[in-house]
Amino acid sequence: MSARGNLFIVSAPSGAGKSSLISALLKDNPADMQVSVSHTTRQPRPGEVNGQHYHFVAVEEFTQLIEQAAFFEWAQVFGNYYGTSRTVIEHTLAQGIDVFLDIDWQGAQQVKKLMPEAIGIFILPPSRSELERRLTGRGQDSAEVIASRMQQAVSEMSHYNEYDFVIVNDDFDIAINDLISIIASQRLTLASQTLRHSGMLDDLLAQ
């Protein structure tokens, strides 16, 4: 019997490198890990694929799903709805696949209420100056926008102590190894190993 997958909540301020870490992790482990694909009512952008980047649905369908308590968490952002399907995640976890939720601290609180065993991981930059350098380095935003994002980042980072693990993304290779170590630790718990190796354990302990 295969062990149930783990649900990982990954949060970070913009510029901390969360998306890059998750992408690098899944690139090397495509079979037994996946990022949750959210539902949204916004229109697809050029190049976005339904079911791969988002599940694009009408507002009426989304509100029906809210009424059916089908979401782990949902929010309305700039007039559009976004939500994480509880049914899809439960089905994926039951197959022994680890699922990653790329959500903010507010979404994390909602998920934790419904699934307390979910593992929270918060990713921090090594310093405020480095975070500002990364945001500025994108070369796409004005100083006013960057200042606003820095203020938002500080607000986001104030919730780091609500998570189970904290990774400081100073050196990318070290940070990805830290992330891999966290995942391995959850797969090696007594409960997971007992379920995964039940036959072997019965054989080892046979009188």
pLDDT digits (tens, 9 = 90+) for 132-173: 998 887 666 788 888 988 999 999 999 999 999 999 999 999
Nearest to 61 by CA among 85, 36, 92, 44: 85
Alpha-carbon distances, residue 108 vs 44, 89, 119, 190 (angstroms) = 25, 15, 10, 25
Of 48-52, 177-181, 203-207, minimum mean pLDDT range: 48-52
d(CA 174, CA 177): 5
Q: Where are the domains of the chain?
A: 7-36+98-204
pLDDT at residue 3 in the model: 80
> Are 54 and 37 within 8 A, CB to CB?
yes
> What DSSP letter does each residue of 156-207 carry, written as one string?
HHTTGGGSSEEEE-SSHHHHHHHHHHHHHHHHTSHHHHHHHTHHHHHHHT--
Alpha-carbon distances, residue 198 vs 9, 25, 79, 205 (angstroms) = 28, 28, 50, 11
Percentage of the chain exceeding pLDDT 70 = 98
Percentage of the chain exceeding pLDDT 90 = 65
Alpha-carbon distances, residue 156 vs 107, 123, 160 (angstroms) = 12, 11, 8
d(CA 188, CA 182): 10
pLDDT at residue 154 in the model: 94
pLDDT at residue 1 tops 70: no
pLDDT at residue 57 tops 80: yes
pLDDT at residue 139 in the model: 66
Find tokens 């990022």 and name the residue.
35
May I ask the CATH architecture of the domain 7-36+98-204? Answer: 3-Layer(aba) Sandwich (3.40)
pLDDT at residue 2 in the model: 64
pLDDT at residue 150 in the model: 92
In this prediction the pTM is: 0.86
